[in-house]
Amino acid sequence: MNTTLRYRPLNLGRWLLWGTTALIFVLAPLFSDASFALTLLSQMGILIIFSLSYNMLLGQSGMLSFGHAVYSGLGAYIAVHALNFIGKGTLHFPVSLLPLIGGCAGLVFGSIFGYVTTKKSGTTFAMISLGIGEMVFACVLMFPGFFGGEGGITTNRVVGSAVLGVTYGPAIQVYYLIAAWAFICMIAMFALTQTPLGRMANAVRDNPERAEFIGYNTQRVRYIQLMLSAFFAGVAGSLSCINYEIVSAENVSAIRSGGVLIATFIGGVGLFFGPILGAILFTLFAIALSSFTKAWLLYLGLFFLLMVLYAPGGVAWLVAIQLPVLRARRLTDLLWPYSLAILAAAVCVIGLVGSVEMLYHAALESGGDRHIQWFGLNVDVRTPTPWLVTSALLLCGGLATRYAMQFVQRRWDTIQLALRQVAT
């Protein structure tokens, strides 16, 4: 197998990329002094690890799991017990390395459940993972002795003596712990994609029969990949245990599993950095948008569906396909069609948001205040005019988007053709 080893010149681009990532992690908290921003960043960091670990299944091995929260959640439960033991003094272990314990717990549970789930692939795997998730969730509630029942298990992360002044009392210290772990995990998971195992996982995803024919046991590849992925999920779980100082049943719930699936997919499963993007987008969606509108779940669902239908590679893919065009300095050709499409889509979105907000208002505030304030506009939801306006915007915007996209497509095809001719 020595043939895979070869000399490579220093990859400057890669060093630059990782360096910038590290720099962003270090500098991010300096932009805002609100404690809320720090909470948001910490959550993003945790979700980045979690969705990257999820993508080890979905993106790299083609396993669609509906129960990934099982591993992060059970990892978090083990971590919280370990942290409480550290607090009582029965266990001597640095808090900074607690994610290792959670990760190992994830690995153990991954090896138990994974043995069953990875027997199948594709859609059957998806169903089984859902069933396992349901079972674990029900059991967590059934054994309050270990899982703390409804209230969950609380803990205190400020334990033991301070190492170099780090107590993990202030949220900023916790953020940097999360950032450090997120960075390490990113590198580790990226490195894994470069190993023979990572490549084999791709082969098993793309053509299991052929992989089998070459002599690989596809089931074993899936199994190992799932265990490793469960390890990183466990790391994410223990970080959330340190961050929130509580672990409850919701950590293993189907909602959590669905969330990481949506985050990963929106970001993009085909590229390594996709899930990172997805984690950031999802956190913003869930927290920022939900403070503006009750309909955020609907928007999230719609956005997800649109991505599945029109951009199955996620946001990362949308960005990545622009790169060759940019490199060939042809992006200016697309400027005009893109602006048209964005404008048309914006009209459509305004119409949609207007209709949905009025619907929510009419349905959930029925009989209450029937007016909505929109940017100084006082809208009465019981008169037909605003409904007509928003529906017209939605319809016209939708049609215009359709035409604009056809325009984009034509231009796109021409450029691609030209690029291909240059290449040959």
Partner 1 sequence: MEFFLVQLFNGVSYGLLLFMLSSGLTLVFSLMGVLNFAHASFYMLGAYFAFQISTWTGFWAGLVVAPLLVGALGMLVERVGLRRVHAHGHVAELLFTFGLAYLIEEAVHLIWGRAALPYHVPAALDGPLFQIADSPYPMYRVFMMLISVSMLVAVWLTLTRTRIGLVIQAALTHPDTVQALGHNVPRIFMLVFGGGAALAGLAGVIGGAAFVTDPSMAIAVGPIVFVIVVVGGMGSLAGAFFASLLIGCLQTFSVSLDWTLAGLLTTLGFSMGPDTPLWSVWSIKLSQAAPVLPYLIMVLMLIFRPRGLMGTRDE
Partner 2 sequence: MGLPAQAQTRLAFIDPLSGPFALTGELALRRLRDEVALRNALPTARNAWEVLALDNKGTVQESLIALRQAIDQDARVIIQGQSSAVAHALIEAIHRHNERDPARAVLLLNYAATDPALTEARCSFWHFRFDAHLGMRMEALTAHIARTPEVKRVYLIVQDYAFGHEFARAARALLALRRPDIQIVGEDRHALGQVRDFAPYIAKMRAAHADTVLTGNWGPDLNLLVKAARESSSALRFYTFYAGSPGAVSAMGEAAAGRVIDVTDWHINATTRAEQQRAEKFQARYGTDYHFARLHTLVQMLHAATLQAQSTHALPIALALENRRFMGETGEVQMRRFDHQLLMPLYIAELAKREGTQIASESSALAWRTLQTIPAYVATQPTSCQLNRPSRLQ
Q: Name the minimum Å distance from CB 383 to partner 1.
A: 20
Instruction: Read off the DSSP letter of residue 148.
Output: -
User: What does 300 interact with, of partner 1, partner 2, none (CB < 5 to 8 A by kind)?
Assistant: partner 1
Residue 367 within binding range of partner 1, rule CB under 8 A: no
Q: Name the minimum Å distance from CB 159 to partner 2.
A: 14
Q: Name the minimum Å distance from CB 188 to partner 1.
A: 26
Q: Which residues contact 129 (CB under 8 A, 6 or more apart)?
A: 64, 65, 66, 67, 68, 117
User: What does 130 interact with, of partner 2, partner 1, none (CB < 5 to 8 A by kind)?
Assistant: partner 1
User: What does 266 interact with, of partner 1, partner 2, none (CB < 5 to 8 A by kind)?
Assistant: none
Q: Name the minimum Å distance from CB 57 to partner 2.
A: 23
Q: Report helix, strand or coil for 380.
A: strand
Long-range contacts, 33-42 (Cβ 8 Å, 24+): 35/171, 38/171, 38/172, 38/175, 39/171, 40/283, 40/287, 41/175, 41/179, 42/171, 42/174, 42/175, 42/178, 42/243
- Beta partners for 361? none
Residue 40 within binding range of partner 2, rule CB under 8 A: yes
CB contact at 8 A, 322 and 331 = yes
Per-residue CA distances from 284 to 40, 41, 205, 267, 305 (Å): 8, 10, 31, 13, 18
User: What does 359 interact with, of partner 1, partner 2, none (CB < 5 to 8 A by kind)?
Assistant: partner 1
Among 172, 188, 192, 287, interactor with partner 2 by CB under 8 A: 287
| Residues within window 361-390 making contact with partner 2, judged by CB under 8 A | 364-368
246/228 Cα distance (integer angstroms): 25
Residue 149 within binding range of partner 2, rule CB under 8 A: yes
Residue 291 within binding range of partner 2, rule CB under 8 A: yes
Among 85, 304, 387, 412, interactor with partner 1 by CB under 8 A: 304
Size of the site for partner 1 (CB under 8 A): 45
Instruction: Read off the DSSP letter of residue 291.
Output: G
Smaller CB separation from partner 2, 89 or 367: 367
Residue 343 within binding range of partner 2, rule CB under 8 A: no
Q: Report helix, strand or coil for 151.
A: coil
Among 19, 144, 301, 312, interactor with partner 2 by CB under 8 A: 144
Residue 387 within binding range of partner 1, rule CB under 8 A: no
Residue 34 within binding range of partner 2, rule CB under 8 A: yes
Among 15, 143, 374, 403, interactor with partner 1 by CB under 8 A: 143
Among 1, 31, 123, 150, interactor with partner 2 by CB under 8 A: 150
335/314 Cα distance (integer angstroms): 21
User: What does 29 interact with, of partner 2, partner 1, none (CB < 5 to 8 A by kind)?
Assistant: none
Among 258, 270, 324, 398, interactor with partner 1 by CB under 8 A: 258
333/102 Cα distance (integer angstroms): 51
196/335 Cα distance (integer angstroms): 41
User: What does 418 interact with, of partner 2, partner 1, none (CB < 5 to 8 A by kind)?
Assistant: none
187/190 Cα distance (integer angstroms): 5
206/187 Cα distance (integer angstroms): 24
CA atoms within 13 A on the CB side of 158: 7
Residue 43 within binding range of partner 2, rule CB under 8 A: yes
Q: Name the minimum Å distance from CB 273 to partner 1.
A: 20
Residue 206 within binding range of partner 2, rule CB under 8 A: no
- Count CB atoms within 10 A of the CB of residue 310: 9
Residue 308 within binding range of partner 1, rule CB under 8 A: yes
131/122 Cα distance (integer angstroms): 15
| Residues within window 122-141 making contact with partner 1, judged by CB under 8 A | 122-124, 126-128, 130-135, 138-139
Mark the segment that binds partner 1 (CB under 8 A) among 33-41, 278-286, 290-298, 368-376: 290-298
CB contact at 8 A, 399 and 391 = no
Interface with partner 2 (CB under 8 A):
34-36, 39-40, 43, 134, 138, 141-142, 144, 148-152, 154, 169, 240, 244-246, 248-250, 255, 286-287, 290-291, 294-297, 364-368
